């Protein structure tokens, strides 16, 4: 084992990390990724609040 081998091992590990699938962003199960949840539904007047679980991390506008 030489220092070069160590660097190669580290490089391989970094490549492995970067190759991890990042596109599959988990959708919030509470709001289905909408960022908002409806907590009350009045007559023609639904009330929305930012999802308490994901806190509307995407910054989506109120539906």
For the segment 3-62, give every residue that binds Zn ion (CB under 5 A): 28, 30-31, 51, 53-54
Closer CB to Zn ion, residue 49 or residue 53? 53
What SS3 state is found at 26?
coil
Q: Min. distance of Cβ 22 from Zn ion in angstroms?
A: 19
Closer CB to Zn ion, residue 47 or residue 53? 53
Report how far residue 51's alpha carbon sits from residue 45's, in angstroms, rounded to the nearest whole number. Answer: 18
Distance (Å) of CA 2 to CA 6, 9, 10, 13: 7, 11, 13, 17
Q: What does the binding site for Zn ion look like in residue numbers (CB under 5 A)?
A: 28, 30-31, 51, 53-54
């Amino acid at each position: 084992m030489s220092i070069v081998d160590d660097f190669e091992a580290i490089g391989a590990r970094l490549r492995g990390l970067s190759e991890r699938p990042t596109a599959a962003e988990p959708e919030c199960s509470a709001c289905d990724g909408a960022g908002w949840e409806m907590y009350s539904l009045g007559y023609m007047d639904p009330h929305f609040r930012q999802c308490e679980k994901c806190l509307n991390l995407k910054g989506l506008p109120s539906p």
